[in-house]
Structure 1
């Protein structure tokens, strides 16, 4: 229960912003669902709830185990006909989805690990219809600099600050982190227009779990605080993740 509540707090803001963006997508039939591609969607944390809302979701993921879990999850929710899992990665996207076939593409926590971020973004752009929505979630450099410094790892903090990929050293498990200016520039290079940038988990990762789990109303108050801070430039710059909504 505790872990589930924590995960919910971490994804709530992204889910809310995505829902609003999809609601604004123009459709020929207002009652019909959208065609959505979830790149690296894993076990369906976003895909299955979207299918429950009536959207058709193709999940492209390199892990067969994750796709098996996705299939079970979709079946449990009664949306197996709306969720399609395909093994692959960003380079396979145009062949799997087809060009100009999707109303939206989700790319959450994937751009950090691909070989070429701009090439991956161009692949996503190619499968989107005109005006299609990209929901992009990336790890941000500033947060790890602060986290390493507060943990007493001052040399690693400085390394992360200066490293081109925002890594704190050879043992860093994250291949790449971004700052806002760099990722916005890469999106523009791939042909996207950025509409909104939100900071994600600004306070959720800082507030002790004991407070959230023991105090009445703390979880809701924390969600409200993160929501209020998400577009504030000073706090957004310190967020562990950036959520960007863009259109092709």
Structure 2
């Protein structure tokens, strides 16, 4: 079974990120309207190779990526050059954000697949909060333990699935590459504790990681139908809680 990812170049939004982009487009439009500035300042903490940063730059925004990996930043710069846009790349960890970037200088901060790996999630979010202007927002995307339990059970790893549910960090064992995962409640509480007003939590990749890619091959409209299904399930009161990732917007 392979996770499904559809290229934007084909005209179809990527199944794995469509729900996140729906939220980002709305928050960007709101911020542009509120500030009167068409070009917003965006920081992508742990933005890696630019999966979000480059498309945001293509929309005309000023984007800075901070990532600890020089290889990822080099790939980001190549990707940006191919797209014909400029993205500022800085090497550093979440703990370095306050030293690398000015306070109150960003309209939006992306924190995608970062909180699972940082040494101290509270300190990381506090540093990100310091980057935001009043009225700015943070986009948080994090791994969900309930999905990990579901996926381990589907793979026949029943003891590991049970361990995920019992472990306070949502891990399935010592060999689990993800240091921690977050439930919907835990994410909202973490944002509130670091000075944000958390918004609605959406499920990301509810079905996409369960659908074999072969089901989309040669089926006209199948990818778009799966995107529509993901969008419908994102805020479902039950289905969102079994999504591979959870997405929440926090406002300052």
Band the TM-score falls in, shorter-chain normalisation: over 0.9
- Alignment check: 8 A CA contact 1:195 1:244 kept: yes
**1:66 and 2:67 are equivalent in the alignment:** no
- Alignment check: 8 A CA contact 1:14 1:243 kept: yes
Taking the aligned partners of 1:177 and 1:223, their CA distance within structure 2 comes to 25
Q: 1:152 to 1:74 in 2, by over 3 A?
A: same
Equivalent in 177, 182, 193 of residue 181 of structure 2: 177
- Alignment check: 8 A CA contact 1:196 1:246 kept: no
Taking the aligned partners of 2:5 and 2:164, their CA distance within structure 1 comes to 30
- Aligned-pair distance for 1:208? 1.4
- Aligned-pair distance for 1:128? 0.5
**1:209 and 2:209 are equivalent in the alignment:** no
- Aligned-pair distance for 1:193? 0.5
CA deviation string 1:53-100 (max 9, x = no partner): 1100010000111111111111122212xx100000110111111111
Deviates more, 1:134-143 or 1:21-30: 21-30
Report the RMSD for the aligned CA atoms in angstroms.
1.7
- Aligned-pair distance for 1:203? 0.6
**What residue number does 1:55 align with?**
61
SS at match of 2:248: strand
Structure 1 unmatched runs, 5+: none
Taking the aligned partners of 1:142 and 1:21, their CA distance within structure 2 comes to 28
Taking the aligned partners of 1:29 and 1:128, their CA distance within structure 2 comes to 14
**What residue number does 1:139 align with?**
143
- Aligned-pair distance for 1:30? 2.9
Q: 1:180 to 1:152 in 2, by over 3 A?
A: same
**What residue number does 1:151 align with?**
155
Structure 2 unmatched runs, 5+: 9-13
**1:117 and 2:121 are equivalent in the alignment:** yes
Q: TM-score, normalised by structure 1?
A: 0.94
Taking the aligned partners of 1:212 and 1:32, their CA distance within structure 2 comes to 37
Q: 1:4 to 1:231 in 2, by over 3 A?
A: closer
Taking the aligned partners of 1:39 and 1:156, their CA distance within structure 2 comes to 31
**1:75 and 2:76 are equivalent in the alignment:** no
**What residue number does 1:18 align with?**
24
**What residue number does 1:236 align with?**
240
- Aligned-pair distance for 1:149? 1.5
CA deviation string 1:99-138 (max 9, x = no partner): 1110000011011000111111101101101111101100
SS at match of 1:133: strand
Q: 1:217 to 1:27 in 2, by over 3 A?
A: closer
